[in-house]
A and B are shown apart, each in its own frame.
Chain A
Amino acid sequence: MPGWIRKLDMDEALGIETKQDQVVVRSLWGDAWRTLRRNRAAMTGAMLMAIIVLVVTVGPWFSQYAYDFTDWPNTSIGPSLGTGHFFGTDTLGRDLFVRTLYGGRISLLVGVVASVVSLLIGISYGATAGYFGGRLDAIMMRFVDILYAMPFMFFVILLMVFFGRNILLIFVAIGAINWLDMARIVRGQTLSLKQREFVEAAQAQGVGALAILVRHIVPNLLGVVAVYITLTIPQVILVESFLSFLGLGVQEPMTSWGALVKEGSEEMETAPWMLLFPAFLLATTLFCFNFIGDGMRDALDPKDRQ
């Protein structure tokens, strides 16, 4: 079937109006990008997110204070441009502007790294179960079902208490929770992908199972993965700030948004800025990621539109 017929069908399904003489063959990613660009909420989210990432990365250079410097004469002072404490200071006189941005670096870093960890586990597990099928699939997915019912948050809290606060443990723990969803989704996709002609062709040519998985199955999963990672990152940031809020996340004097919100909530009657700035940034970030994720899902998975 020539490419343009399929594309027209798709355009019709997507509600895109094109004149026939303008037809250019486009890829799935090209179409997805066009849909995404028209989604105003998602684009606003992406733009805001880019600004937040930029500010968090370069912002600390514009302040005269270090994140752990205690400005004793100026403890718990409100936001002001005159003192150079743009967001005010905390009870120890540390500059909140710099601390909020440093906390953002940690929160975003944890979000991205732990999501990648959970993606790697989820993809390899789900693709293996889906591709080989049969009894192996049944056993592997039964295992996922069992883990699904575990109150993981509680186990994570316990591990943090037993083994001390360790940023590596946070990554592993969060990754271990979040791979289950990914494994299920990837397995479902793999089940349908392995029926397709190109997989059959590869099998007929005697390509090994591992090579088929890596070269043919996984690249075709990338659309789902792209959607899912934008939905996983905010979840992970949330888990990290939850742990930090309980005092089990990153260690002083380093900080994260969750830890800052906790400190702020303890002082909110006298120093509400300690709560409001980190809370606002944390909520905005989650907000942006959720909108981007929704937009990506609409763009890459037209079946699942809401």
Chain B
Amino acid sequence: MLNYFVRRILGAIPTLFVLMALAFFLIRLAPGGPFDSEKVLLPEIEANLRAAYHLDEPLYQQFARYLGNLLQGDFGPSFQYRDLTVTELIMTGFPISLRLGAGAMALAVIFGVLAGSVAALWQNSRTDYTVMAVSMTGISIPSFVMAPLLILVFAVYLGWLPAGGLGGGSLRNMVLPVVSLALPQIAYVARLTRGSLIEILRSNFIRTAKAQGLPMGKILLVHALKPALLPVVSYLGPATAAVITGSVVIEQIFGIPGLGRFFVQGALNRDYTLVMGIVVFYGTLIVVFNFLVDLAYAWLDPKVRYG
């Protein structure tokens, strides 16, 4: 187990390295620099500024410095918000995005597994077809289409929920963004659960359990659900990535000051360090989460050898 653990961590290092290298060289590609402004700077002042930001060093040295700083959690200064570092900005935005994303993931797993199990247990019934049709609709309506539609119905026409903003972090303000982010994922998890549960319910060990006279509820909870959830567990990695990407648009639509909104605003304002910092931060998050998912998978599935 420890061996596997270490090997997986070592395996993640090249991924993180490529991520950071891509980030670093993309930022060099970006037109413009930190001191572009309307007034032209004196050459001496510009040279001093370049030295202050270490831009006068050779590229490999800058890259090494960038990596070193990253490893210490320092994403450098923001181009736009001169008083704040990128690290500080990420730390203000991330808790808000985290609540949004975690809420969406929780909804996706709970309702997805529930709906998928119901559909699988009553396979080919009207309930099954309804669940599957609804989930196909959920997959087909992207969250940035769903969000305005939900606002139109629940905020504009019915007036039940606020149309946007953080509202001091109240639950009412989180409902619509979390739901629109979660719906496609709920649908996906439901389809995955249904497919694998149907397969499991046909297998020999379930037939044996039935033959022994175990009640259906017990068979489902004790025997069937754990192996049936394996595809769902391995989908959690891509789901995280999808939720993070989706939150970029959702935060924009609902005016929530999370990381996704910082990202879009930063990109439009050409705040390159902030934007790259967010890419590296989220990229690392996804890599780490995938690693955790793999560990959970190995723990759940006895067939997976730690090799």
Residue ranges of A at the interface with B (Cβ–Cβ < 8 Å): 142, 145-147, 149-151, 153-155, 157-159, 161-162, 234, 238, 241-242, 245-246, 258, 261-262, 264-265, 268-269, 272, 275, 279, 282-284, 286-287, 290-291, 306
Q: Which residues of A contact B253 (CB under 8 A)?
A: 265
Docked Cα-Cα span, A242 to B269, in Å, equals 19
What are the nearest 3 A-B pairs in CB distance? A265-B148, A287-B140, A306-B195
Contact A275 B244 (CB under 8 A): no
- Closest-by-CB residue of B relative to A265 is B148
Give which listed residue, B30, B137, B142, B152, contacts A272 with CB less than 8 A.
Answer: B152
Docked Cα-Cα span, A242 to B249, in Å, equals 8
13 A–B pairs (Cβ distance < 8 Å), ordered by A: A147-B18, A151-B283, A154-B282, A157-B263, A162-B26, A241-B142, A245-B144, A261-B144, A264-B148, A265-B253, A279-B141, A279-B149, A287-B137
Question: With A162-B31, A246-B252, A290-B139 known to touch, is A154 a contact of B145 (CB < 8 Å)?
Answer: no
Contact A158 B148 (CB under 8 A): no
CB distance from B242 to the nearest CB of A (A): 9
Question: With A158-B26, A246-B252 known to touch, is A150 a contact of B283 (CB < 8 Å)?
Answer: yes
Interface string of B127-161 (1 = CB under 8 A from A): 00000000011011110110111011000100000
Give which listed residue, A151, A261, A306, contacts B282 with CB less than 8 A.
Answer: A151
Q: Which residues of B contact A159 (CB under 8 A)?
A: 26
Contact A149 B142 (CB under 8 A): no
Q: Which residues of A contact B18 (CB under 8 A)?
A: 146-147, 150
Give which listed residue, B31, B148, B268, B283, contacts A268 with CB less than 8 A.
Answer: B148
Give which listed residue, B19, B30, B191, B279, contacts A149 with CB less than 8 A.
Answer: B19
Interface string of B8-27 (1 = CB under 8 A from A): 00000011001100100010
B residues 271-307 near A (Cβ < 8 Å) are 275-276, 278-279, 282-283, 286-287, 290
Contact B287 A149 (CB under 8 A): yes
CB distance from B139 to the nearest CB of A (A): 6
Contact B286 A149 (CB under 8 A): yes
Q: Which residues of B contact A268 (CB under 8 A)?
A: 148, 151-152, 156
Question: With A155-B22, A269-B156, A286-B142 known to touch, is A306 a contact of B263 (CB < 8 Å)?
Answer: no
Give which listed residue, A153, A155, A269, A275, contacts B149 with CB less than 8 A.
Answer: A275
Contact B142 A157 (CB under 8 A): no
Is B267 on the interface with A (CB-CB < 8 A)? yes
CB distance from B128 to the nearest CB of A (A): 12
Q: Which residues of B contact A261 (CB under 8 A)?
A: 144-145, 148
Q: Which residues of A contact B136 (CB under 8 A)?
A: 287, 290-291
Q: Which residues of B contact A282 (CB under 8 A)?
A: 142, 145
Docked Cα-Cα span, A262 to B145, in Å, equals 9
- Closest-by-CB residue of A relative to B184 is A238
Docked Cα-Cα span, A201 to B31, in Å, equals 56
Docked Cα-Cα span, A73 to B156, in Å, equals 27
Q: Which residues of B contact A242 (CB under 8 A)?
A: 142, 144, 245, 249
Contact A153 B245 (CB under 8 A): yes
Is B270 on the interface with A (CB-CB < 8 A)? yes
- Closest-by-CB residue of A relative to B18 is A146
Give which listed residue, B142, B279, B283, contacts A158 with CB less than 8 A.
Answer: B279
Question: With A146-B15, A268-B156 known to touch, is A154 a contact of B263 (CB < 8 Å)?
Answer: yes
Contact B140 A283 (CB under 8 A): yes
